[in-house]
Structure 1
């Protein structure tokens, strides 16, 4: 560190133009660092109808209690152990049986048997009505009004009634 300062002092004495350039670049770097510090944490405004995940809270990142840290470490150790066991089974050259992945088994069971685990809520009821019942009423209204309008034009004699097989 001391040697580099001597070289910098010597170079600025011999080349004054270089000194001004060095000062300019150091100012630029300082300004860049200040700008970086300002943009590290962007202004975040939460959406009005939803809350952000709990993990985005800075208190969850920086102020974790020792008990929570211990729980997180235990979970990470359990995941690492399960991953190691799975990798050992997967890479075993002498295996004859299929590898049982419990997460895959749970997922496929839940996917194939949704009704025992389905819970009726306001949101699911609303979605069922929107995508199951409302379209039926909508198309009924569209076809009925179109037919009534066509029949009224036929009664009035304003409908063009040429033979047309396409409509």
Structure 2
């Protein structure tokens, strides 16, 4: 169990800025001292799949690697700001996510907030940190899988059109498109 310092007297920004004092690695301190996750989500409006997925995975890794109270405090604050940013962009009318997806993400944001606030009253179990990190990893994986499915769908449609729009060949077109997209993604 990691003890978590109460951050109510500090602003979230001050806590993150002081992170460099508690982390020994300069590269890690620099990464944590910047609030890249929240900034990315706010800039992309949660529509740049790869960037948003990286932000979620970064926050997940901070949570998993939090082996001291100071690191747990930093990771929780970073993750909370990320989820506040996600909740903020979900309220933006320009966000194109499906209403059901938005509702699910808002519920997850509430869970993250509640769990993080519970931690400010004392200690947080390692299992809670793992739970929060898994949420981030699953959302990132879902974003990437959804993007890949859209790419396959678009490619299957192109194949169907190129072949003269034949009936009854949907599965063939889909499988060819899947293979092409998988090969393309492996080459990245």
- TM-score under structure 1 normalisation? 0.24
Q: More relative contact order in 1 or in 2 (CA 8 Å, sep 6+)?
A: 2
